[in-house]
């Protein structure tokens, strides 16, 4: 079994502030360590279920948050950013049996996590696909679906776990925290590690085919910007249209073109 793990930090247990997500801040190290622990737990669960190959995309900020030395020897890491439109699942292809998402968070435009955002939190107010707010899970689970690979598991905040279940109830989830305004209610870090390991193992022993998402036949991408001048500039991307001072739209039947647009416009 060959498994791909995409790892973020804003959905790790206990996290609450942007200062806890940035390498340059004093609060970062504690939550980077917890991110590592939760990703390692997912690896251990996958190995118990029979995974022989595991690829990990370090998908937060610099792409350099995970410590390769603490992981099993059958792991391969993708660190940094090449610029490929697959972004947080860069390196994924049709040879994988499934994708696991660790530390994911709710979408921009929702109130389920003080750190809710989609892609660039400093430029983007929201991203919608076919009228629905899109999270980073949505974007990258659809990428997996584009390749015919099922999305097997997600850990993160309660809001993103609820979103996953609306898309496919067979995908296993573990909610490690819940946002309430600017606060968070979180489970214990050690419990998060235990539950993630057990749940990933269970997810991989399940009928993986039931976790495949079905892609829409066509896509209406809308990107809302925080600053109107960014929307105006982005409206000159081929096929994009300015539909309000801060919102552009882009329509296509090819999901890769959605990803390409996002990589240039966000």
Q: pLDDT tens digits for 21-69? A: 999 999 999 999 999 999 999 999 999 999 999 999 999 999 999 999 9
Q: How far apart are CA 196 and CA 190, in angstroms?
A: 10
| 181 lies in the same domain as 226 | no
For the whole model, what pTM was predicted?
A: 0.98
Domain span at residue 104 reads: 2-121+135-211
Band of residue 103 on the pLDDT scale cut at 50, 70, 90 = very high
Residues 106-120 have a mean pLDDT of 96
- Tell me whether residue 107 is in a domain: yes
Q: Which two tokens stand for residue 142?
A: 């659809």
CB atoms < 10 A from the CB of 74, how many?
Answer: 12
| 261 lies in the same domain as 180 | no
- Tell me whether residue 130 is in a domain: no
Asked whether the beta carbons of 146 and 212 are under 8 A apart, the reply is no
- Tell me whether residue 128 is in a domain: no
- Tell me whether residue 47 is in a domain: yes
Band of residue 105 on the pLDDT scale cut at 50, 70, 90 = very high
- What pLDDT score was predicted for residue 217? 97
The conformation of residue 112, written as its DSSP 8-state character, comes to: S
| 96 lies in the same domain as 227 | no
Q: What 3-state DSSP class applies to 31?
A: helix
Q: Which two tokens stand for residue 234?
A: 């982005």
| 64 lies in the same domain as 160 | yes
Per residue in 167-203, pLDDT (tens digit) is: 999 999 999 999 999 999 999 999 999 999 999 999 9
For the chain, what is the domain count? 2
Of 153, 45, 161, 60, nearest in space to 100 by CA: 153
Q: How far apart are CA 225 and CA 217, in angstroms?
A: 26
245-254: b (≥16 Cβ within 10 Å) or e: ebbbbbeeee
| Domain end (from 193, 211, 229) | 211
- Tell me whether residue 108 is in a domain: yes
| 144 lies in the same domain as 192 | yes
Q: Which two tokens stand for residue 126?
A: 């929201």
- Tell me whether residue 180 is in a domain: yes
Residues 122-144 have a mean pLDDT of 97
CB atoms < 10 A from the CB of 22, how many?
Answer: 15
- What pLDDT score was predicted for residue 253? 98
Of 189, 198, 193, 135, nearest in space to 167 by CA: 135
| 104 lies in the same domain as 176 | yes
List the CATH number of the domain containing 74. 3.40.50.10780
Band of residue 80 on the pLDDT scale cut at 50, 70, 90 = very high
The mean predicted confidence, pLDDT, of the chain is: 97
Please state the residue numbers annotated as binding site for Zn(2+): 8, 10, 60, 105, 136
| 149 lies in the same domain as 227 | no
- Tell me whether residue 184 is in a domain: yes
Beta bridge partners of 98: 3
- What pLDDT score was predicted for residue 262? 98
| 145 lies in the same domain as 261 | no
Per residue in 235-259, pLDDT (tens digit) is: 999 999 999 999 999 999 999 999 9
- What pLDDT score was predicted for residue 22? 97
- Tell me whether residue 126 is in a domain: no
| 166 lies in the same domain as 261 | no
Among all residues, which ones are annotated catalytic?
A: 117
| 160 lies in the same domain as 229 | no
Please state the residue numbers annotated as binding site: 8, 10, 60, 105, 136
| 255 lies in the same domain as 204 | no
- What pLDDT score was predicted for residue 56? 98
Of 243, 250, 253, 246, nearest in space to 264 by CA: 250
| 258 lies in the same domain as 154 | no
């Amino acid at each position: 079994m060959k498994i791909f793990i995409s790892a973020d930090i804003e959905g790790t247990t206990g996290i609450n502030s942007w200062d806890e997500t940035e390498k340059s801040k004093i609060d970062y190290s504690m939550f980077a360590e917890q991110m590592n622990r939760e990703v390692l737990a997912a690896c251990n669960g996958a190995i118990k279920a029979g995974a022989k190959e595991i690829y990990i995309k370090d998908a937060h900020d610099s792409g350099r948050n995970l410590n390769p030395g603490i992981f099993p020897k059958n792991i391969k890491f993708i660190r940094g950013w090449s610029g490929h439109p697959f972004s947080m699942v860069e390196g994924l292809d049709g040879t994988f049996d499934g994708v696991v998402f660790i530390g994911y968070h709710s979408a921009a435009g929702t109130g389920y996590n003080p750190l809710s955002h989609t892609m660039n939190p400093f430029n983007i107010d929201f991203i919608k696909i076919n009228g629905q707010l899109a999270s980073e899970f949505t974007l990258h689970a659809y990428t997996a679906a584009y390749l015919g690979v099922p999305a097997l598991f997600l850990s993160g905040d309660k809001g993103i776990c609820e979103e996953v279940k609306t898309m496919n109830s067979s995908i296993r989830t573990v909610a490690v925290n819940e946002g309430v305004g600017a606060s968070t209610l979180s489970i214990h870090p050690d419990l998060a590690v235990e539950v993630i390991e057990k749940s990933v193992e269970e997810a991989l022993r399940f009928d993986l085919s039931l976790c495949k998402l079905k892609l829409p036949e066509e896509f209406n991408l809308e990107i809302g910007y925080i600053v109107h001048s960014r929307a105006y500039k982005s409206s000159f991307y081929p096929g994009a249209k300015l539909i309000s001072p801060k919102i552009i739209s882009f329509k296509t039947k090819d999901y890769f073109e959605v990803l390409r647009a996002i990589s240039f416009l966000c």
